[in-house]
Structure 1
Amino acid sequence: MADDDARTTACTGSSLLQPVSEITDLPLDQVNFVVCQLCALISAFWFRLFLHPSKTSPFIRHVVATLLGLYFALFCFGWYALHFLLQSGLTYGIMILTGVEHMHNPMMVITQKITSLAFEIHDGMARKEEHLTAGQKILAIRRMPSLLEYFSYNCNFLGILAGPTCSYNDYIAFIEGDPRRHRDQEADRKSNGKPRQSEPSPNVEVVRKVATSFFCLLVFLSVCKVFPVERNIDDDFIANTPFYAQVVYLYLSMLTTRPKYYFVWTLADAINNAAGFGFNGYDGDGSPRWDLISNLRILNIEFATSFKVFLDNWNIQTAHWLKRVCYERCPYHPTAATFILSAMWHGAYPGYYLTFLTGIVITLAARAVRHNVRPHFLHSPTHKLVYDVITWAATQIAICYTVVPFVLLSVGPSIKFYRSWCFSLHFTCILLAVALPVKPRHLRLKDQQKGLQRRLEVADANCSQKEKST
């Protein structure tokens, strides 16, 4: 009875689905979340079909998206949902009062959308065009958002519970039905001279993503208790299990934690697609792409052959946010600064900081190996295959080793795990990073520019010779 009371009081949201929680033996807050996401999926279809930009004004779409989002937040979190309004309202006031020159500075560690918006407004209204990168020019905001647009962007029902993050310009273009929202409009319109649909149906993609998400949920519920992560720090397990078996168990225990993230992010992506948001142009064969705001690529994650490839395909929109607000703008040690910001954004648990600090040394070591070792294996397909198999195994072990504290959260258990491995990957990665130096990013960019310039000069010389010979 006490367990039932604890389960009921642990959730600040609606208790309407308490019977479902008891039947499924799942916490009420998780039941509320899944049900709200399914309602959001249904609402997204209705939003696209009955409130399409061709039938409804942007004002109505903003209002409906915001009100539905706040209702779902209230159902899931109860009075805690005031956090969305207070945080958004306070930061909007800061944006207005501080001015475009300084608005990006006081918001560095709040949330992805707010910080992204602040930097994009700063880029569009306070910086010179020639100082912006190509990506910053696309995302730069040229006018201050209205209060309704701002709340709609931050609190819309499509992403208030699980994201994913999107750029303000892409969201507003979606609400207004602006065909220019497709980044490469002319390339999208034609393929081999054939005109394409300006707005393809997302139904097939939504069905695929919903099926994938619930398959991942089924896998997680089936195996999550078979390989508990906590067993990696069990004294008997450490003392009586050969090291190679500990490595295999570590991989399996971390492998079985990922499907819950696959479920949440894939379903969130499907919800946005169902509303018509997320179209990203066409493939070379003319197939529509619905990955503008996708947060992961499952196969690329599971078969990643480098630490970078894994990170590039995991929590993609967060990676884009970190790159745009930190990595591209940090003048010194951008890799370390980006990992530290990521830890701060995730929360106050010490395990987050241990994970991301470990990620710094592993990233540096992986970069050193890729630049210094990989070129020696590219001379034949066989050598490349051997390299890929080795780096796949090394990547999976490195990822699992890195994220154990992220799951355990506390300092004591995390250090106990690393001690059981004698901090071996830490020391190995530090040695590799020192022994195999890599040029700083700005020097690598200069070398790339010089190489490109040389190739252009050679091409020009060849063209000149051909003209003379003719």
Structure 2
Amino acid sequence: MTVAAEGLSAVDGLVARVAEVAAPATEAWARLAAAVDDNLQPAALTAGIESLSDASGVGVGEVKLFLCLLAAYPLALVWRKLPSATTRHLFSVTVGLWMLQFVIGYQWLHIVVSSTIVYVILLVGGPRARVVAATVAMLYLSGGHIYRQYTDFLGWTLDWTMQQMIVTQKLHALAFNYWDGSPVANPTPDQKARSVATLPNPLEFFSFLLFPANVAIGPTFEVSDYLAFANGTVVAPSGVVPALVRLGQGLFLLVTHQAINALYPTFGLLGDKSFRSSYNVFIRYAIIWLSLIGVRCKYYFGWKIAEGAACLAGLGYAGTDKTTGAALWNRLENIDVIAYETSQSLRNASSNWNKTTNLWLRRYVYERVAAPSNLYVSYFVSAFWHGFYPGYYMFFLSVAVATSVHRNVRRCIRPRFLAADGKSDGPGKGAYDVASFLATTLTLNYFIMSFVMLSWELSLATFRSFYFAGHIAVVIALLVFQLGLIRPPPKKLAAKTS
């Protein structure tokens, strides 16, 4: 029995029956889709991509995605030079659709269909339909995740769900932005600033979703920001230099990923029983720690290149520094590599990883759900958005508990290493910082292994090979704080250090 079959054992009969009934229609649709794809992509281009794939050892899908990321740079410059908002919107829709066709073929229909459904819900139901619209968007994405999981279990082929994840964020945010702009809402000043009083027209709507500079892998952005730049309400200075810096960073990170992954592929190592029982546990963990840097560099590479394209288009512009007057280009920053890799708390690590997604979760989940459940709901929605592999839920729910522990550490222990003013470093603060960094990186790299391994069986085998050390440590620490064995400094001391 294959790994896929083992993962689908509970529904094998139903899936097989559905596949049997749907086979004729599926085959006919596949032939039609292949014909359309062949006509929309010149034979010379297809041959060139296949040659690049053979020469690099990278799959055809990954080569297409890489070329799409690079093509976003000149396309962003063209978009910015167009004379009017209407021409920019038309350019975004036509070019964005072709880029999707190039990367995922006919599957772009899912993005158009799901977005149209959500748009009609908001058009008919008005701002009050925000929850229905957001739910439908998430359910459509979930359907794609489930189908992929059942048909390509533990597979890594590129399909429409990657782009749909970004579109889902945009649709979800737009639904709540529309509500925040309605007379009956009571938004915070921050929510009001992002609100839209009227629903964008269809051309603006699809232009927002299909913007060429970010249609391939994101990052997401607010509809109010996009319309402001497209309409010329906000004009950014030249973004050539920050774009080239990010392009250089992205290419360096790609090379780093390829080098580390060639020697220490995380999935290959942890999926191998012999490796899971080799060396001693400390050497084995050190190898996986290094391999996970390689995994992260794959994400860093894509995000940095996408940030550069956004800078060229102007959307990465975030105003000027109040002190120096220099232009800021971090509006769509998705990763601060150094800040993430040197984080001293899970909270800081989370805020510096996939920043636009975390911002989406904070603005449209965390801030709209009552405490204290908002932390756990946010992590659950994040896992739901990623898909339904058990490894996602093992990771996010474990990190939610670990984050609670780290908050207690910061509340109860950190003040003891600060001076009387509560801000300056006190005796031993340097040692505390080092310990915080080590605790954070050890915690993250331990729990993130299930995010990479995906399945329940492989994740469990991985954690077992490390004797469930991370889980045990987090449970013990949680009990220590819950039982009040470590408390915040006395009120008098706390007053001095607050």
Task: Give the TM-score, by structure 2 length.
Answer: 0.78
Give 1:158's aligned residue.
Answer: 213
Give 1:178's aligned residue.
Answer: 233
Give 1:25's aligned residue.
Answer: 57
Does structure 1 conserve the Cα–Cα contact (< 8 Å) formed by 2:362 and 2:378? yes
Give 1:213's aligned residue.
Answer: 250
Does structure 2 conserve the Cα–Cα contact (< 8 Å) formed by 1:351 and 1:406? yes
Q: Is residue 420 from structure 1 mapped to residue 465 from structure 2 by the alignment?
A: yes
Q: Distance in 2 between matches of 1:170 and 1:114?
A: 14
Give 1:468's aligned residue.
Answer: none
Aligned residue for 1:103, secondary structure, equals helix
Give 1:404's aligned residue.
Answer: 449
Give 1:122's aligned residue.
Answer: 179
Give 2:392's aligned residue.
Answer: 352
Give 1:460's aligned residue.
Answer: none
Alignment of 1:43-442 (within 5 A): 43-48=75-80, 50-51=81-82, 56-108=83-135, 109=138, 110=141, 111-125=168-182, 127-128=184-185, 131-179=186-234, 199-230=236-267, 231-232=269-270, 234-283=272-321, 284-332=323-371, 333-379=373-419, 380=425, 383-437=428-482
RMSD: 2.2
Q: Which amino acid aligns with 1:30?
A: E
Give 2:30's aligned residue.
Answer: none
Does structure 1 conserve the Cα–Cα contact (< 8 Å) formed by 2:258 and 2:294? no
Deviation at 1:126?
A: 5.1
Does structure 1 conserve the Cα–Cα contact (< 8 Å) formed by 2:219 and 2:303? yes
Aligned residue for 1:331, secondary structure, equals coil
Deviation at 1:318?
A: 0.4
Does structure 1 conserve the Cα–Cα contact (< 8 Å) formed by 2:276 and 2:462? no
Q: Distance in 2 between matches of 1:127 and 1:384?
A: 49
Q: Distance in 1 between matches of 2:331 and 2:63?
A: 28
Does structure 1 conserve the Cα–Cα contact (< 8 Å) formed by 2:339 and 2:349? yes
Q: Distance in 2 between matches of 1:279 and 1:89?
A: 30
Alignment of 1:459-470 (within 5 A): none
Aligned residue for 1:304, secondary structure, equals coil
How many positions carry a matched residue from both structures? 407
Q: Distance in 1 between matches of 2:117 and 2:236?
A: 37
Q: Aligned pair in 2 of structure 1 residues 438, 153: CA closer, same or farther (>3 Å)?
A: farther
| Greater Cα offset, 379-388 or 412-421 | 379-388
Deviation at 1:290?
A: 0.5
Q: Which amino acid aligns with 1:23?
A: A
Aligned residue for 1:104, secondary structure, equals helix
Aligned residue for 1:200, secondary structure, equals coil
Does structure 2 conserve the Cα–Cα contact (< 8 Å) formed by 1:369 and 1:432? no
Alignment of 1:438-449 (within 5 A): none
Deviation at 1:233?
A: 5.3
Aligned residue for 2:263, secondary structure, equals coil
Q: Distance in 2 between matches of 1:244 and 1:32?
A: 39
Q: Aligned pair in 2 of structure 1 residues 381, 227: CA closer, same or farther (>3 Å)?
A: farther
Does structure 2 conserve the Cα–Cα contact (< 8 Å) formed by 1:213 and 1:266? yes
Does structure 2 conserve the Cα–Cα contact (< 8 Å) formed by 1:378 and 1:384? yes
Give 1:188's aligned residue.
Answer: none
Aligned residue for 1:102, secondary structure, equals helix
Does structure 1 conserve the Cα–Cα contact (< 8 Å) formed by 2:346 and 2:440? yes
Deviation at 1:438?
A: 11
Q: Which digits, 9 at most, give the CA deviation of each residue in 1:191-248, with x for residues without a partner? A: xxxxxxx742211101110000000011111121211213245433343422221231
| Same amino acid, percent of matched pairs | 29
After the TM superposition, which segments of 4 or more aligned residues of structure 1 sit over 4 Å from their partners? none
Note the residue ranges of structure 1 that are not aligned, 5 or more in a row: 1-8, 180-197, 440-450, 456-470
